[in-house]
Structure 1
Amino acid sequence: MKKMIVGLLVLFSLAFAASAYAKDVKAAFIYVGPVGDGGWTYAHDQGRIAMAELPFVTKTTFIESVPEGADATRVITGLANKGYNLIFTTSFGFMDSTVEVANRFKDIAFEHCSGYKTTANMGNYFGRFYQGKYLSGIVAGSMTKSDNIGYVAAYPIPEVIRGINAFTIGVREVNPKATVKVVWTQTWFNPGLEKDAADSLLDVGADVLSMHQDTPATLQAAEERGKFAIGNDSDMRQFAPNAFLTAPIWDWGVLYKEFATNVHNDTWTPEEIWAGMETGVVKLAPLSDKVPAAVQTLVAEKQQALMEHKMQVFAGPIKDQAGDVILPTGKTYSDKELLSMNFFVEGVQGSIAE
């Protein structure tokens, strides 16, 4: 009996110690665009809302439309000084600012989205969005009648280039004659400029559009012209119900709830996370009923193969724009090579902007 009582006291002490170290989570988010953009920032904010439902998350806040650079450093520092113990910076261009502030506030957990740097208290996270881009390329290649597909692209960074290439691989897998013409906007959020770029692609015969931007402007251009379009970051069908075919989308709540739980339990450590579709972070929006059943079946089969690691998007043979084999049969690119991708594959029309 005495041993049992001692054992119960030990268990109680351990439970009390664990609860004593459990932290309330106060989380802050830095956004590069407005939460109403319908895409990138909207998706991150949906993740914040999901995380905020956890009982130990006592406060969340966000600051939207923060310019990358010195302004970001100032904003992140301000939040660190206000007592937030988990800070998310959600654009590639916030990376160096996050490193700078993290090095000054060692007791705060920082998470940076889409970058490659870490510190003792700063992790980075992203998803294998190119998997969704590849699947949406299969849809686009199947739906084009002109074999002319347009792509409105933001900045020529590896993330965007990788997505264009994955999309084009999907297109050419089902339609080897199709090409993907790229127009750069050099912006993440500029609906007017994005729409102009989309219109320029429609003017030269594109009948399906895709994009890597933060707003639905490209889809709206396609809607006005009676053409098809692929969304980005979130399910954008409400903005172009007739044009919308599908979209690679984010479910950031999967990671945000995990990070908050780890901070709460005092088990958070900085990691480099690149989550695939099997985690649920990256998804494909439900396909439009305009997409034939056979194409829907093919996409579902390919998605399952990706999730089970039975195939790779970037598997040889892969040719460059000149038609030369740059990845032979039986080879795949490493994550390091994918993360630094700076070339276009065969089938892409356009050059990588300065």
Structure 2
Amino acid sequence: MKALFLAVFILIFSTVFCFKVGFIYIGPVEDCGWTYAHEFGRQYIEMMINDLETEYYENVSGGKESADKLRKLAENGCDLIFATSYDYMDSVLEVATEYPDVIFMHCSGNKRSENVGTYFGRMYQADFLAGLVAGKTSKTNLIGYVAPVKIPEVVRGVNAFAIGVSKANDNAKVLLEWIGDWTDKEKEVAATEKLIKHGVDVVAHGMDTATVNITADKFGIWSIGYNYDMSKYAFDTHLTAPVWYWGQLYLDIVESVIHGTWKSEALWPGIDSGIVGLAPLNSFVSSETRRLIEKYRIDMILERFHVFEGPLRNQLGEVKIKKGAVPDDHYLLTIDWLVENIEDDEGMSERVPHIH
């Protein structure tokens, strides 16, 4: 009888704890940016859950390659798979139908099914705080921003950053350069140098690596990183960075699948959950700016302040969000316009370059 009980116990224990989680990454794990932040989250769940097995593929592009890698993870016995790029959306939905017993979680996507959920964080709240830092730091009232691709996630972040700039300095403009990809070293260097020639004295970005920060540092220009603390690449000139802390969210999702409480839904926690925040501030950042950051951080947590509360106008001066209105999540997830203190390539073409 005791032997039977022991066998049942071992069976139950192994069923619960022999759990495998897979990840696919858009970039290399050492990029010190987007992918590294997710990789740090993977390492966190390995540390927190005994006998958990994980597997990952890096440098996976969208389309057929991502579908092939998702299938491999499923065939290798993964119970849960995290697809960590917007580019994987169609592949996730396709492969999920082939493996109905596997749970798929797609980062930054907006399409779900019975075994597919989505997750992201309200990074726009941290982007806003970074904008406060940039606005308070700039002396030329020109702040540069190098952006990857024109999708709502990026547009939302750039807008939030520009709104933060305007709260701190209503005379400042954000000069915007689009790259067209998540990482392209040559284009990022060229875009950063172009912005500096136009007179910016702070450069921020939404790219996957620290190329913008490294380039700005060579010119002695302040910079703001993204995704992860990039100060080691520009120690003296790195002001801060909006950063991800994926670990706890990954842990919560894994445990929900293990315990059978997972459901297909859109997870979008905010700054109150700790998933997003700011990297440590440069010692140059004033105590006044630090107090301003903390004020808005607390007000966002207590919902006394909403980044996109109106009135907000677009680049043409048209009212897009009326005074006192707070847009819902669907609006924010599909936003496709830029706020009025942003100048992109077209507006910048009318400026006379400033020789730095």
TM tier, smaller: over 0.9
- Show CA shifts across 1:221-272 (max 9, x none): 1111011011100011111011111111000101111111122222222221
1:121 equivalent to 2:115? Answer yes
CA distance in 2, matches of 1:64, 1:142: 38
CA distance in 2, matches of 1:103, 1:178: 49
CA distance in 1, matches of 2:69, 2:12: 33
Q: What TM-score do you get using the length of structure 1 for normalisation?
A: 0.92
Query: 1:75 corresponds to which residue?
Result: 69
C-alpha contact (below 8 Å) 2:120/2:268 kept by paired residues: yes
Alignment of 1:42-53 (within 5 A): 42-53=36-47
Gaps of 5+ in 2: 1-8, 347-356
Gaps of 5+ in 1: 1-14
- Show CA shifts across 1:157-190 (max 9, x none): 0010011110000101111111101111111122
Identity %: 38
Query: 1:97 corresponds to which residue?
Result: 91
CA distance in 2, matches of 1:338, 1:112: 18
Paired residues, number? 340
CA distance in 2, matches of 1:270, 1:338: 20
Aligned with residue 326 of structure 1, among 320, 326, 331: 320
Aligned with residue 243 of structure 2, among 243, 249, 261: 249
C-alpha contact (below 8 Å) 2:160/2:307 kept by paired residues: yes
Query: 2:284 corresponds to which residue?
Result: 290
C-alpha contact (below 8 Å) 1:76/1:98 kept by paired residues: yes
C-alpha contact (below 8 Å) 1:209/1:222 kept by paired residues: yes
Aligned with residue 311 of structure 1, among 301, 305, 326: 305
1:230 equivalent to 2:224? Answer yes
The one-letter amino acid paired with 2:250 is Y
1:144 equivalent to 2:138? Answer yes
Query: 2:349 corresponds to which residue?
Result: none
Deviation at 1:27, TM superposition (A): 0.8
Superposition misfits of 4+ residues, deviation over 3 angstroms: 15-21
Aligned with residue 262 of structure 1, among 250, 253, 256: 256
Q: What TM-score do you get using the length of structure 2 for normalisation?
A: 0.92
CA distance in 2, matches of 1:335, 1:47: 25
Aligned with residue 180 of structure 1, among 152, 157, 174: 174
C-alpha contact (below 8 Å) 1:51/1:57 kept by paired residues: no
The one-letter amino acid paired with 1:130 is Y
- Show CA shifts across 1:14-55 (max 9, x none): x99975762422111100000111100000000000011133
Deviation at 1:72, TM superposition (A): 0.7
CA distance in 1, matches of 2:326, 2:262: 32
Shift of the 198–57 alpha-carbon distance from structure 1 to 2, 3 Å rule, reads farther
Aligned with residue 62 of structure 1, among 36, 56, 61: 56
Query: 2:354 corresponds to which residue?
Result: none
CA distance in 1, matches of 2:196, 2:252: 42
Shift of the 57–157 alpha-carbon distance from structure 1 to 2, 3 Å rule, reads farther
